[in-house]
Amino acid sequence: DQQVKQNSPSLSVQEGRISILNCDYTNSMFDYFLWYKKYPAEGPTFLISISSIKDKNEDGRFTVFLNKSAKHLSLHIVPSQPGDSAVYFCAARSPFGNEKLTFGTGTRLTIIP
């Protein structure tokens, strides 16, 4: 049972344009959401997060939007740069137990120069 879904395995965007990566979840108890970025042969690194009590969080070129009623979050990158080419994972945190993270399957973003 995939509780966090990233339905687009890949996405290509022209440099300078906006990249929008989507993530859907099914568990309404998730209280915190994170985006991680992963380059080949490296582990994921934290990018941006959002609490379930907010609907938007912005950090430079990166903005995460949360729609709790739709159980949907998105990551916007604008303007997109070649260095943004990577695999992006969304993750959701459970408030119970050890606060473990549940990850999506990832979206491979390719920025076209």
Partner 1 sequence: GAVVSQHPSRVICKSGTSVKIECRSLDFQATTMFWYRQFPKKSLMLMATSNEGSKATYEQGVEKDKFLINHASLTLSTLTVTSAHPEDSSFYICSAREDRHRNEKLFFGSGTQLSVL
User: Whole-number minimum distance, CB 17 to partner 1, in Å?
Assistant: 26
Per DSSP, the three-state class of 4 is strand
User: Whole-number minimum distance, CB 84 to partner 1, in Å?
Assistant: 18
Q: Tokens for 83? A: 């260095």
Residue 72 or 79: the one with the smaller Cβ distance to partner 1 is 72
| Footprint of partner 1 (CB under 8 A) | 2, 4, 9, 32, 34, 36, 41-46, 49, 89, 91, 93, 98-106
Distances (CA, A) of 13 to 61, 90, 106: 15, 19, 16
User: Whole-number minimum distance, CB 15 to partner 1, in Å?
Assistant: 26
Residue 14 or 45: the one with the smaller Cβ distance to partner 1 is 45
- Tally helices (H) and strands (E) across the chain: 0, 11
What are the backbone angles phi and psi of residue 50, rounded to the nearest 5°? -150, 135
